[in-house]
Structure 1
Amino acid sequence: MNFSFTSETADQIRPLIPYVLYSALPVNATPADYRSLHRLLTSANYTHSDFLEKISPDCETQLVRCKILGQVHPCNVLFQRVKTQHGFCCSFNYNVIINGNQTAEELSIHSNRFGPKWGLSVVLDPQIEDYYASRNKFGGYQVYAHGVYDFLNINDPHQLVFTGNSIHIHTAPLITQATTLLKNQDLHLRRCYLRNERKLLAFAEYTQQNCFSECRSGKVLKICGCVPPLWPRAQNWTVCTLLEASCIMAQIDTLFTTIYPSNTDYKSDLKAERYICDCYPECEFQGYKANFDSMSLDRNYSINNMDLYRGFELKNHLVVHAYYADMFGAYMRLDVVYHWQNYFGLFGGITSLFMGINFISGFEIIFFLSVRPVAHLLTRINKRRQAMKKQKELNKNHKVMRN
C-alpha cells in the first residue's frame, strides 16, 4: 500500500501499528505511545479512521472466487467492505443502516434451497506473506454468522478458519411470531419489542444486538466524552482520537464485563431487566442457528466442483461453504403462558382431579348450600301465611253463621 510517509516516519510508525485497534485488541500501550502515533498520523494528514481503512486488506484480492446457486459470480458483486468493531471486514448480505447511511447494498442474489450445492462457496487467499500486526498467531480468518441487520460486535460468536482448511456453515432458519394476546400486554411484562416500538439513535433497524452496541457506545461517551471510530454512534457524538485512547483502555474492563448483577431477583422483580438500557429482544424476528464444521482441504483426489477451483493452485488458500442444512425450519409462537382463562380452567381441572368434582358439581354444591335452603325457607313462610289467611277466613265465616 502506498502511504505519504517518509522512510523515517514509516520506521517510527511501524512498531506502533498494533495500537490503532486499541478498542478491539489487548494492547499494552502508554499514553506517550498514543500521542506519538497521533502526531505521526497528523503529520501525514491522516485521521485515525482513514489510517485504519488504509491498512486494512481489501476484499477483491482476498476473495479469489465465489459461487452461489450453482453459478460462479464475481466476488465484488456478492461481498462488500464494511466497518465493524474488529476493523474492516468483507461481508455477504450485510444490510445495517447507521446514521442513515447503508453500509452495504441489499443483494438481489439469495438462496432458498438447501444443501452445499445451492449455498454460498468462497475460496479465500489470506495472503499470509503480508501479515504484520495480526491479532492471532496463525494464518486464516475469523468467520462470523450473524443477522442481516445486526452490527458485528467484538463479542459475537465466530469460528477460526486456518489456511489449508475447508469450513462448512450449515444454518437452520427460526421464525418467531407474537400473538395478539402478547401484543396487548405491557412492555415490561412481555419484555420484548414490537416492530417500530423502540427507536435507536444510530441504527435504522432495531435488534437487541444493535441496542447493546449503542448502549456500550453511550457508556463510553459518558465516561470519556467520545466514541471509538469503529463503534456505532449518533451523528452528534464525538469520535475519539488516539489522544483519548488511554481513557478507553482504562474503562475496558468495565465495558466488557457481564451486565447482569448478582443481587437481582429476576423471578420476583418484573422490571429487573430494565437497567440494561431497556434492550429487550424483538417479539417477532427471523433468526438462523449456525453450526460450524472444519476439515482439511485436499484437492489431489477430487474432480468435483472444478468451476470453483479451476485456474489456480491451492497453496495457503481456504474455502468457506455456507448453506441451509435442511428443507425444514422452526416456526415458533410467542404467547402468554398463563392468563385468567388458564387459571380458571386449571382450577377446575385440579378440583376435579383431587376432589372428584367438576364445575357443575361445584355449582350444585353452592345451590344446595345456599339457594335451596333459602328457597325452602321462603316456601315455608309462604305456606304459613296462606294457612293463617285461610284460618282467618274460616273464623270470619263461623261468626256469620252464628249470627
Structure 2
Amino acid sequence: MKRSSSRRTVACRDAAKGLILDYCSNSSVHGVQYFGCRERSGCEKFWWFAVFLLSLGSCALLIEKTYLKWDQTPVIVSFNERATPVWQIPLPAVTICPQTKALTTKLNFSNDVGEFMHNHDISGEKMDTLLATLQLCDRNFHQVFFDPSVFPDKTTNQSYASLIKDMPILTQENLGDCSIRSELTSCTNLFSYSLTEEGVCVTFNGLSANELLRTENIQTEDSYLTSINRSTFWTQEDGYSHQATVRTYPYRSLGSGISAGISVTLQNHDFLLEYLCSGPNPGYKILLHSPVDYPHISNKFVRISRNREVAIAVKPQIITTSTGLRDYTPEGRQCFFNHERYLQFFREYTQNNCELECLTNFTLHYCGCVRFSMLRTPRTAVCETNQIMCMLKAEETLLEMDVVTQGNSEPNFRAKCNCLPACTSVQYDLEVTQTELEWYRYWETFAEDLSKLEGTQMARLGVYYKESQFITSRRSELYGLTDFLANCGGLLGLCMGVSLLSLVELLYFCLVRPVVLWRNQKTVVQVKNKDEAPEKVLLAKSGN
C-alpha cells in the first residue's frame, strides 16, 4: 500500500511539473516561456523570473493607483459642449425685505424702549408688539445698546409672527409700476409674502407652501409663504416640460437685458419710519435665490438705498449631473438627488434648505426653542425676546463647528446634517450697478401738484439675465467601469503583454487541461488492465 501511494504521489508531481512546463512553453505572457526552456541555464531562468516579478509588482502598483482614483474621485465636473438658452431656466426668485422694522403709526419704538428701560412701565399688547419688533433688530443693536435678557416674556396669546405681520413695513401697496418682460402688470400678481428672519418680506417667483414645504409636519398657526402659484410644468431636476408655455410658472426670461427681466418701484414715507432698530440705512435688502430655496436673508443680500435705481445683471451658474452617476453613492458623487435626502420641513432638497433646517435643529438643541421665522412642528417652542443672544450664539457656534472640531474622530452636529449640494443646483453671479433716482424732478415735468408726495422716498429695482445663453457645468464619470477595465488592460499589456485571452489561457491550464489529462490517463490504465487479464489466464493454465 505504501509503495502504491508513493507511486501515485510521484505520478501527480510529475504530471503537475509537466503541466507547468507545458504552460510555460505555450503561454502568451511575455517572459514566461523562458522559465521552462531546457536550453536555458539556471542563471538565465533566474534573470527572467526576477524581471517577471518586477514587471508584475509594477503592474500591481499602477493598477492599485488606478483603482484608488476610480474609487475615491470617480466624478469630474466639466463644461457642457453646448450653450443653454436662458428660456430653459426660470428667472431667479427675488425676495425684498425692508430694513426699517417699525412704523411710527404702529409703534413709537425709540420712546417705548426708553420708557421700558427707565421705569418698566409698559405691559399688555403694547409690550408684546415691542418685544416682537426687538426680534427684528440687528446684532449691533443688541450688543451695543440694549441687553435683551432684561426684557420679559410675551404675555398675550398672539404669536410673535402674527404680531410682526400686524405691522408690515413693505406691503404690496408699496410696490408700484411692476413689469415683467416689459409688460406692466399688477404687483399683486407677481409678489407674495414670505416670513423671514427680517420680518415680513415680499417674494417674486417663489414656490407655494404646498410645493416647497412639508405642511403636514409644520405648525399651522402662522403661515410662512402666501404664494398660490403652482409650478405644474417645471421641476428643479428636469426643468420645463414640453407642455410649458411662455407664461408657465415659475416665470422665465426670453432673452437678455432689462426688457426681458422684471422691474419694480419701491416707495415709502419718511415720517412713518423708525431708525433706532435697524440703523441709519432705511433701504431694502434684496436676495436672489432659486425658486426652490426658502429665503434666508441675513448672510446673502444686496442692499438698495432709497432714491436709487439699481440694476442687477444675473449670470446663472448651473451644475447638472449625468444619469450615469445615479448608481453611485451620494458621498461618491458629492451631491443628492431630490429623492435621496429627506428633509423634515422641505419637499425640495437644496443645500440652502438643508442648512436652514440644520440651523433650526441646532437652535432647538442649543436654546430649547427656535426663532419665530424658523419652520417648526406644532410642539416646538418659539424663543422669547430675552433669548435673542442665545439664538445668535447658536448660529455663530454652528458656523465655527467645523473649524473648532477639526481632527476629531466623532462627527459634529454640522457634519451630521450632511448638507451636500443638490445634484441639480443653481447659483447666481451678480453685477450690480446703481445711479441716483431723481424721481421728484421727473414728476415735476408733468406740472402736477406734488404736495401729496412730500416725504415720499422711492427706489427702483431691475433684475435681468446678462446674456441670452450661458454654459452649464456637468458632473459625469471620470472613470466608469469600462474605463477602469480598459486602463487595467492597458497596464497589463504594457508591463506583461497580457490580454483577456491570456487570462483565459491561464484558466485553461489551471482547470480544463488537468481534467483532460486525468481522463486520458484513466483511459490508458483501463486499456492496460484489459490487456493484462488474458495473459494472467494463460499463465495460470500453463501452470496446471
Q: When the two structures are superposed, what TM-score results if normalisation uses the length of structure 2?
A: 0.55
Cα deviations by residue, 1:160-186 (Å, 9 ceiling, x for unpaired) = 345535332324373635748735x66
Which residue is equivalent to 2:432? 294
Specify the code of the residue in structure 2 equivalent to 1:290. Y
Task: Indicate the larger mover: 6-15 or 212-221.
Answer: 6-15
Which residue is equivalent to 1:104? 226
Aligned-partner SS, 2:252: coil
How many residue pairs match? The answer is 385
User: Are the structure 2 counterparts of residues 235 and 188 from structure 1 closer, same or farther at C-alpha, using a change threshold of 3 Å?
Assistant: farther
1:151 to partner: Cα distance: 2.1
Cα deviations by residue, 1:105-153 (Å, 9 ceiling, x for unpaired) = 2444612522122222234447677461464654643321212232222
Contact 2:193-2:227 within 8 A present in 1 as well: no
Which residue is equivalent to 1:257? 400
Task: Give runs of aligned pairs for residues 49-60 of structure 1, distance below 5 A.
Answer: 49-54=161-166, 56-60=168-172
> Is residue 2:477 matched to residue 1:363?
no
Contact 1:59-1:76 within 8 A present in 2 as well: no
> Which of these residues, 184, 196, 200, is aligned with residue 72 of structure 1?
184
Specify the code of the residue in structure 1 equivalent to 2:493. S
Partners of 1:29 and 1:370 in 2: how far apart? 80
Task: Give runs of aligned pairs for residues 192-271 of structure 1, distance below 5 A.
Answer: 193-196=336-339, 198-249=341-392, 251-259=394-402, 261-263=405-407
Specify the code of the residue in structure 1 equivalent to 2:467. A
Aligned-partner SS, 1:95: coil
Contact 1:351-1:358 within 8 A present in 2 as well: yes
User: Are the structure 2 counterparts of residues 37 and 56 from structure 1 closer, same or farther at C-alpha, using a change threshold of 3 Å?
Assistant: farther
Aligned-partner SS, 2:286: strand
> Is residue 2:163 matched to residue 1:21?
no
Cα deviations by residue, 1:253-272 (Å, 9 ceiling, x for unpaired) = 3244344631157xxxxx96
Alignment root-mean-square deviation, CA = 5.0
1:237 to partner: Cα distance: 1.0
Contact 1:193-1:283 within 8 A present in 2 as well: yes
Contact 1:126-1:140 within 8 A present in 2 as well: no
Which residue is equivalent to 2:40? none
> Is residue 2:256 matched to residue 1:115?
yes
Which residue is equivalent to 1:330? 472
Partners of 1:274 and 1:193 in 2: how far apart? 19
Which structure is larger by alpha-carbon Rg, 1 or 2? 2
Which residue is equivalent to 1:169? 313
Partners of 1:24 and 1:7 in 2: how far apart? 15
> Which of these residues, 198, 207, 215, is aligned with residue 86 of structure 1?
198
Contact 1:351-1:357 within 8 A present in 2 as well: yes
Which residue is equivalent to 1:303? none
User: Are the structure 2 counterparts of residues 103 and 131 from structure 1 closer, same or farther at C-alpha, using a change threshold of 3 Å?
Assistant: same
Cα deviations by residue, 1:316-357 (Å, 9 ceiling, x for unpaired) = 634322337334563746679656x66545433321233222
> Is residue 2:463 matched to residue 1:321?
yes
Aligned-partner SS, 1:219: helix
Task: Indicate the larger mover: 388-397 or 240-249.
Answer: 388-397
1:28 to partner: Cα distance: 3.6
Task: Indicate the larger mover: 238-247 or 158-167.
Answer: 158-167
Partners of 1:164 and 1:84 in 2: how far apart? 24
Partners of 2:293 and 2:515 in 1: how far apart? 69
Contact 1:194-1:282 within 8 A present in 2 as well: no
> Is residue 2:419 matched to residue 1:276?
no
Aligned-partner SS, 1:317: strand
Contact 2:148-2:388 within 8 A present in 1 as well: yes
Contact 1:20-1:48 within 8 A present in 2 as well: no
Which residue is equivalent to 1:12? 115
Specify the code of the residue in structure 2 equivalent to 1:174. I
Partners of 1:396 and 1:119 in 2: how far apart? 112
1:231 to partner: Cα distance: 2.3
User: Are the structure 2 counterparts of residues 46 and 380 from structure 1 closer, same or farther at C-alpha, using a change threshold of 3 Å?
Assistant: closer
> Which of these residues, 314, 333, 349, is aligned with residue 490 of structure 2?
349
Partners of 1:382 and 1:9 in 2: how far apart? 112
> Is residue 2:175 matched to residue 1:63?
yes
User: Are the structure 2 counterparts of residues 57 and 202 from structure 1 closer, same or farther at C-alpha, using a change threshold of 3 Å?
Assistant: same
1:78 to partner: Cα distance: 0.9
Partners of 2:457 and 2:391 in 1: how far apart? 40
Partners of 1:245 and 1:299 in 2: how far apart? 37
Partners of 2:253 and 2:511 in 1: how far apart? 67
Partners of 1:11 and 1:28 in 2: how far apart? 14
Task: Indicate the larger mover: 343-352 or 222-231.
Answer: 343-352
Partners of 1:216 and 1:69 in 2: how far apart? 37
Cα deviations by residue, 1:264-296 (Å, 9 ceiling, x for unpaired) = 57xxxxx968863444447654x3231111224
Task: Indicate the larger mover: 99-108 or 372-381.
Answer: 372-381
Higher helix share: 2
Partners of 1:197 and 1:346 in 2: how far apart? 32
1:4 to partner: Cα distance: 6.7
User: Are the structure 2 counterparts of residues 349 and 13 from structure 1 closer, same or farther at C-alpha, using a change threshold of 3 Å?
Assistant: farther
> Which of these residues, 106, 118, 130, is aligned with residue 3 of structure 1?
106
User: Are the structure 2 counterparts of residues 6 and 79 from structure 1 closer, same or farther at C-alpha, using a change threshold of 3 Å?
Assistant: closer
1:3 to partner: Cα distance: 2.5
Specify the code of the residue in structure 2 equivalent to 1:352. G
Specify the code of the residue in structure 1 equivalent to 2:106. F
Specify the code of the residue in structure 2 equivalent to 1:347. C
Specify the code of the residue in structure 1 equivalent to 2:170. D
Same amino acid, percent of matched pairs: 19
Cα deviations by residue, 1:364-395 (Å, 9 ceiling, x for unpaired) = 24434664466456545644654564566688
Aligned-partner SS, 1:276: helix
Contact 2:313-2:464 within 8 A present in 1 as well: yes
